[in-house]
Structure 1
Amino acid sequence: MTDEPTIYVDADACPVKAEVLKVAERLQVPVVFVSNGGLRPSRDPMVRHVVVPGTADAADDWIAEHGQAGDIGITADIPLASRLVEKGLHVLGPTGRPFTPETIGMAVAMRNLKQDLRESGEIKGYNPGFTGADRSAFLQALDRTLRRALREKRG
């Protein structure tokens, strides 16, 4: 474990990449964007892009393998969030929703319930639109979470 947290971003469909960069640059922490491709490389030496094969869970597996306790994971993927929480990462969804040991069980249960309801035709598979309020909530949550992670890792 290093004395600086790293931010790992499940980047393929992440709507808050610019916000991650903004907070990370201000607090001088490294960022790793993991995707199946299609992201513009950054010239910033603190930003790394990892391109994984196009298989379904390749980005999730890479992040789960490389993230360490005290790092930060950004994902809307509940199963990945669960894996990261289990490893001791601080995990945020793109709306700023924290996934913690206390909340991840309910998040997994709700995800599974909604998936079952979609498959049975009881509900439609639409997600709510991403709003400016979501973006603002994410910025605040990431700043708070990253500052806490920095304190914890630096002792």
Structure 2
Amino acid sequence: MTIWVDADACPVVVRDILFKAATRTKVTLTLIANQMLRVPPLPNITAVQVSSGFDVADNEIVRRAMQGDLVITSDIPLAAEVIEKGALALSPRGELLTADNVKGRLMMRDFMDTMRSSGVHSGGAAAYSAADKQAFANQLDRYLARQR
């Protein structure tokens, strides 16, 4: 089992939680980004730099993810693709996406995108909060506990 991180847009606080969890559990953690990232010098934690471009990091995560893996991303289309391969997705805000709920989230995302394209202002996402951090840490802990 590997945890893959869509690291270009991942909050630093989430990366720190992931580093601590990987250190504690020895789970394989791989961050994928189109820039160089610093990671702790541990054999189970790596960073992969891909070329810049639209969805290059996402495509690399989809290529590498396997059944039973966990992908950390706020990108709903990426989440849908890895879930089709049998992985799970967890947003930095602690929302666990599965085959049961990702289609609804994808439909809502597409609807909101259509609304924004037609000029409706949705206000955007709320600022990342302490509650989001706690929700993420709790979901990650539950996932890791189930894997043992």
Which range, TM-score by smaller chain? over 0.9
Listed as ranges, the gaps of 5+ residues in structure 1 are none
What is the number of equivalent residue pairs in this alignment?
146
1:90 counterpart (88, 91, 100): 88
What TM-score comes out, normalization by structure 1 length?
0.90
1:3-152 matches, cutoff 5 A: 5-15=1-11, 16-124=14-122, 126-148=124-146, 150-151=147-148
Greater relative contact order, per chain length (Cα 8 Å cut-off, separation 6+): 1
Let me know the Cα RMSD of the aligned residues: 1.2
Contact 2:4–2:65 under 8 Å retained in 1: yes
Identical residues among aligned pairs (%): 38
Contact 1:72–1:90 under 8 Å retained in 2: yes
Contact 1:23–1:139 under 8 Å retained in 2: no
Contact 1:34–1:59 under 8 Å retained in 2: yes
Once residues 110 and 96 of structure 1 are traced to their aligned partners in structure 2, the CA distance between those partners, rounded to angstroms, is: 18
Contact 1:10–1:35 under 8 Å retained in 2: yes
Runs of 4+ in 1 over 4 A off after TM superposition: none
**1:125 deviation in Å?**
5.2
Listed as ranges, the gaps of 5+ residues in structure 2 are none
**1:38 deviation in Å?**
3.8
Contact 2:22–2:45 under 8 Å retained in 1: no
Letter in 2 for 1:14: C
